[in-house]
Chain A
Amino acid sequence: EPEVTQTPSHQVTQMGQEVILRCVPISNHLYFYWYRQILGQKVEFLVSFYNNEISEKSEIFDDQFSVERPDGSNFTLKIRSTKLEDSAMYFCASSDPGQPFNQPQHFGDGTRLSIL
């Protein structure tokens, strides 16, 4: 079964540095998402991406964050000037074409980001 793959599985970064989290969505999916989960808390929506542009973003997704689909397969989340509170599990997800609300999002295994 096709999978969403995320790299790296664990990223350790010094506070203030930039980090890029990478994702390869399922190949025929058209909608892409980033979520984050601070340890022990609920999963929070960050941003959705469709047709090469951001379709929606949450209040968490401020100027510190950006997303990009640099080629036909990768989908990246860049976090600039990382802060301690950016430490979390970051999930990439993708979903099928068609009505988005009735399609499950398939999640990658996540990247655990630790800011020191």
Chain B
Amino acid sequence: AQKITQTQPGMFVQEKEAVTLDCTYDTSDQSYGLFWYKQPSSGEMIFLIYQGSYDEQNATEGRYSLNFQKARKSANLVISASQLGDSAMYFCAMREGQTGGFKTIFGAGTRLFVKA
């Protein structure tokens, strides 16, 4: 079974608008962390935002926020005021605290296209 599911292979958004990238996860651990990474066409992996399973408030980092709904096991990334430079691949990822060891499990990614 997929541990991280990103159902949107590609998304388009108009510059300056907000966009939500979906992510659902599957774990039986109580302790886990959820992460979003950005991968531009140049290939590097850029850490964007983190949400812990015990965090009661949604994480925010500048224009990025994470809509964390624990009961639904979803951790959607919201990018506000999209910019052309936001065009990239976005990966949702999870690390499990008890059974998962140290590895990060990635979803298949969503490619975001920002239109001028």
Contacts and interface: CB of A to CB of B under 8 A. Distances in A.
Contacts of A45: 103-105
Given A45-B104, A55-B101, A101 B43 contact: no
Given A101-B96, A104-B47, A107-B45, A42 B107 contact: yes
A48 B103 contact: yes
Size band of the interface chain A makes with B? 20 to 34
B103 A101 contact: no
B4 to A, nearest CB: 9
A56 B91 contact: no
Contacts of B44: 107-110
B91 A107 contact: no
Interface string B73-116: 00000000000000000010101110011111111110000000
Nearest 3 pairs between A and B by C-beta? A107-B45, A101-B97, A56-B101
